[in-house]
Amino acid sequence: MQEDSRDARTAAGARTSGVGRARGAWLVRGLAVALALATLAPPAARADDDAPAAATAAPAAAFSGDEAYQYVRHLAETIGSRPTGTDQESEAATYLAGELTRDGYQTEIQPFPITTYEERSSRVVPLAPAGAPIDTSALVYSAAGDVTGELADAGLGRDGDWAPGALQGRVALVERGEIPFSDKVANVAAAGATAAIIFNNSDGGYTGNLTGESAIPAVSLPGSEGQALREELQNGPVRVGVTVDAETVTRESRNVIAMRPGTRPGAIVIGAHFDSVPAGPGANDNGSGTATVLELARYFAQRDYPYTLYFVTFGAEEIGLRGSRHFVEALPEDVRSSLRAMINLDMVGVGDEESFSGAADLVAMASAAADALGLENYTTRAGSVSGNSDHASFDRVGVPVLFIYRSDDPNYHSPRDRAEFVDPDALALAGRLTIGVLDRLAATTP
């Protein structure tokens, strides 16, 4: 799952798309043909949402949480961390395409270019009074540089938080809060600062994004380190060095798309992102969702389903939902408008409480599926979805979405996001809930 950036098996049968206009062409042709063929079938009679169609239903227990868990282990342990644009992300895509092709799906690897920020090192060094280097990280899209200067307390980085000329040639010490990081950095740069140090407004550290490349180096600090520098300033001048060694580069990411045509007009996307942050192996975020999608694909390969099904694993989610956005933008408007639903699975393997959010009718179907499974501990939010996972790319263009997830993973975006902490029973529940929603969708007509 993407950080909130406002404040911060080989694929013998899989084909890799070309570049330029060829990108996404197979997807567009495949979906359009599937939907056209589906119009030859008579429409199904409307059924009660709470009574899934017996003709399409199969025992939900056929979904195996243990099998899904093996996918998690391969992604997190065999491949490991899968940051956007890396060889590991590419290896994961080949693995996923191979598994889906083996299950009988028409499978495509859909590449797309991405711009990514690569940080090699960054540091803050107190020079006078001399002190030990302070561990830090650059804000994403910070300018590279190696600067020294006197430290100046720039408050919250708002225009007007300092006297005219107070920041000229100085390093601005800025507290997090109230306005976006990009505004803080732009304000102090406009006032002549040569670098910005933004410390947390709580004790711990943090990571953050800028909306574009900054004019000056900009780094983050834990709150305790920032407050210590502020207190040192009260005793007299402080001189520091700030170094950022990083660059913005263009690389390639990719989505993996598996399609099975239906016999009724319309299509449904079941998706999850398979990239991870660099910090950890991404077992729960989002090996868990990806594994659930793979096991759902294996399950539905064994049964009939009326709508065209797309099982999609997205790349580049962690840097701004790039994969899902590319998938959606590659679809013509008439095909896009034929999508009945997008179900997104993100971080479904850790935590005590299941959550559903999205379109009211889909949330109601998820609730009914949960009740049918005897689930008591779940939360719902109808009509409102957060923008920090791939469903948001579909919601933005009017496709009804359902987001299935669990919260409160203590190992989120950390080296401890390992397979040993993912619960196979939680994967099984997420899969069975998704099956319940899909069966309820199959029992209705648009």
**Domain limits at 181?**
130-237
More confident: 331 or 89: 89
> In this structure, are 286 and 427 located in the same domain?
yes
Q: What is the pLDDT of residue 2?
A: 67
Q: What is the pLDDT of residue 207?
A: 80
Q: What is the pLDDT of residue 3?
A: 58
Cα 101 to Cα 15: distance, rounded to the nearest angstrom: 10
> In this structure, are 407 and 298 located in the same domain?
yes
> In this structure, are 329 and 298 located in the same domain?
yes
Mean pLDDT for 350-359 is 95
Cα 87 to Cα 337: distance, rounded to the nearest angstrom: 35
What is the sign, positive or negative, of the torsion defined by CA atoms of 358, 359, 364, 369? Answer: negative
More confident: 11 or 234: 234
Mean pLDDT for 133-154 is 93
Phi, psi (rounded to 5 degrees) for 272:
-165, 150
More confident: 267 or 29: 267
The answer, yes or no, to whether residue 239 has pLDDT greater than 80, is yes
Number of structural domains found in the chain = 2
**Which of 8-17, 53-62, 361-370, 373-382 is least confident?**
8-17
**Token output for 375:** 């689930």
> In this structure, are 68 and 111 located in the same domain?
yes
- Closest CA relative to residue 293, chosen from 67, 27, 16: 67
Return the SS3 of 76.
Answer: helix
User: What's the pTM value of the predicted model, to 2 decimals?
Assistant: 0.74
69 to 74, 175, 406, 410: CA distances (angstroms): 9, 42, 16, 19
Return the SS3 of 379.
Answer: strand
Q: What is the pLDDT of residue 387?
A: 78
The answer, yes or no, to whether residue 89 has pLDDT greater than 50, is yes
Q: Which of 180, 215, 237 is the last residue of a domain?
A: 237
Mean pLDDT for 115-119 is 86
The answer, yes or no, to whether residue 422 has pLDDT greater than 70, is yes
Per cent of the chain over pLDDT 90 is 72
> In this structure, are 140 and 106 located in the same domain?
no
The answer, yes or no, to whether residue 171 has pLDDT greater than 60, is yes
Cβ atoms 233, 9 nearer than 8 A: no
Mean pLDDT for 353-382 is 96
